[in-house]
Amino acid sequence: MNTNPLRRLDKAMTEPLALMRVCALADIPVQGARRVLTPVGEIAVFRTLADQVFALKNQCPHKKGPLSEGIVHGNKVTCPLHNWVISLETGEAQGADHGCTGTIPVQVSPDGQVSLALPAKAKVSA
Ligand code: FES
């Protein structure tokens, strides 16, 4: 049985989700990331040059490098450890590399507040 909430979030999305406000858009550097601790683990919240926001589990699918410390380009991030390129949209490694990290739904409110959609039970138990 898989007890990792992030993996369950990726696989089925059958659990009810709850929004967890994490920061303001202005708190995330353009073409950078902010590391957020949540009840389901460490999440990297990315902001692109076009002000799109994405969230991934903060572990590279190669050897768990901290994606929040990577370089954001387009809708991708390059891992700081061995330069794998990871899609911010799907969490999948690009090019010849194979692997995938968990993605987390993100909402940016009209007033610029960034929230993550996490399993409701995880939020309640925080
Ligand atoms: S840990 Fe990310 S490329 Fe190796």
pLDDT score at 8:
46
Q: Is the CB of 62 under 6 A from ligand 1?
A: yes
Residue 57 lies in a domain: yes
H or E segment to which residue 43 belongs: strand 41-47
Instruction: Using the mean position of ligand 1's atoms as its centre, give its distance from the Cα of residue 66 in Å.
Output: 8
CA distance 57 to 60: 8
Ligand 1 centre distance from Cα of residue 16 (Å): 32
Note the pTM of the prediction, 2 decimals.
0.86
Please tell me the least confidently modeled range out of 7-16, 100-109, 111-120: 7-16
Separation of 115 CA from ligand 1 center, angstroms? 27
CA 70 / ligand 1 centre spacing (Å): 10
Query: What is residue 10's predicted lDDT score, i.e. its pLDDT?
Result: 52
Domain count, the chain: 1
60 lines ligand 1 (CB under 6 A): yes
For residue 99, what is the domain's CATH number? 2.102.10.10
Q: Where are the alpha helices (DSSP H) in 18-74?
A: none
Is residue 1 in some structural domain? no
The proportion of the chain whose per-residue pLDDT surpasses 90, expressed as a percent, equals 79
Q: Does the C-beta of 55 come closer than 6 Å to ligand 1?
A: no
Closest CA to 56 of 124, 116, 107: 116
CA angle 25, 113, 52 (to 5 degrees): 45
State whether the beta carbon of 65 lies less than 6 angstroms from ligand 1. yes
Does residue 11 fall inside a structural domain? no
Residue 4 is assigned to a structural domain of this protein = no
Condensed to tens digits (0 to 9), the pLDDT of residues 68-115 reads 999 999 999 999 999 999 999 999 999 999 999 999 999 999 999 999
pLDDT attached to residue 3:
46
Task: Flag whether 60 is in a domain.
Answer: yes
Range of the domain at 52: 25-113
Q: Which atom of ligand 1 is nearest to the CA of 84?
A: 3
pLDDT tens for 20-78 read 999 999 999 999 999 999 999 999 999 999 999 999 999 999 999 999 999 999 999 99
Look at residue 120 and tell me if it is in a domain: no
Is the confidence at residue 124, as pLDDT, over 50? no
Q: Residue 7 falls within a domain, yes or no?
A: no
